A and B are shown apart, each in its own frame.
Chain A
Amino acid sequence: MARTEILTGNYAVAYGAKLSRVQVISAYPITPQTSIVEKLDEFVESGELDARYVRVESEHSAMAACIGAAATGARAFTATSSHGLMYMSELVWWAGLGKFPLVMAVVCRALAPPWSIWSEHNDVLAHRDSGWIIFFAEDNQEVLDLIIQSYRICEDERVLQPVMVALDAFILSHTSTPVSIPEQSDVDGYLPPPGSRRKPFILDIENPLTHGNLTYPEYFMEFRYEIEKSMNSARRVIVEAGRRYGEITGRYYDSLVEDYRCSDADVVLVNVGSSSGDAKEAVDLLRDEGYRVGLLKLRAIRPFPFEDLRRICDGKRYIGVFDRNYSFGYGGILHCEVSSALSGIKVPVQGFVGGLGGRDVTVDNYVNIFKTLIDMADRGVEPKPPLWVGLREVV
């Protein structure tokens, strides 16, 4: 029987990794590190988790150690956040472009300056092109569930790419809620035996090979094309993994997106991460007032859910995109992606930016966003440059 405990998002990650029977954990224990790796250290120390815990001297080395472990076929895990991820960046790309299946939790935080410890998505999105599968969690249950599913997805022979699970700093990472923890035997039946993976290759002194060596232009592009093929396959594998996960837990995640009351909606807002629940409450409030609005939560942003997005948004009067990130000189990153993905479908797309550096995003904010979209649809106006939600008067 699964049991339910009150867990922070950080501990939900740690329990997910433990249940996945990770074999190597590598981490650099300094701010902006989180209690994820502290809890895992406790599990290893107490003997509850049979894993090698490697305390390295930087995030860069943390990822290097994970890559080394994954290269031997071991199940590897690390966690980081904001500046830690940026310091790790070179090796994050190495892991993605080198097809090393491993899982990393990223507690999303704003990058400095000015200094911040609170949530923003630019740290993760700076790595959106690095060959990692990227999930954003809405709540602590989804955090735990995603970690477990991520090992099944990344080790699937059709995928063999690393997975990042993003959770919002404090809003999930330090907030405690009830979380259902699956039975170990169920997870054991769900995941391949740890260390059983033999593809795309494993290091073996009896059969030496080189990997990642200098590659001339006449072969290089094919390596990139292989990653894109994996990403395309991952769409199906993610759905299969989520469906199978539902069979053991009752919690089905059988889509790259979550469609909340979109089917008969006039106006749909696209959102990721922890504020999606607040947005759903806004949808319910407005539905009670007769407004036909819906929320489309993107669970995965890599691979990007083109088909779901186009299917759900087709025929709507107006689409909004809420970004907890910013690309200076352009606008919201997801707004850019959604607009591009919807090209050819005649629907206007308005960008909204908010929640930067942990600025609280409320149900009232979402009510106003939906009302703005309805008003723009009614007046038939073209989208404007991104609207900044909750911005103070500029001082």
Chain B
Amino acid sequence: MSEANELTYEQKVARLDEILTRLDNSETPIDKLAEDVKEGARLIRELDMKLKQVETEVLDAFKELESE
């Protein structure tokens, strides 16, 4: 699922932070607002999915650990 140039979780968080900070400080150019919001929403969706996926994997790993 990951492309070669896919951002890592941390990079995505950094990108989202950037967008949110710009929003907070009202620095987002209005022309870019919709684009930023779309990107932010996409990042959140991806981060959430990633987190859920990692959680599943981690819980499975713990389960395996306990079943040994």
Q: Judge: A and B partners, yes or no.
A: no
Q: Contact residues of B with A, CB < 8 Å?
A: none
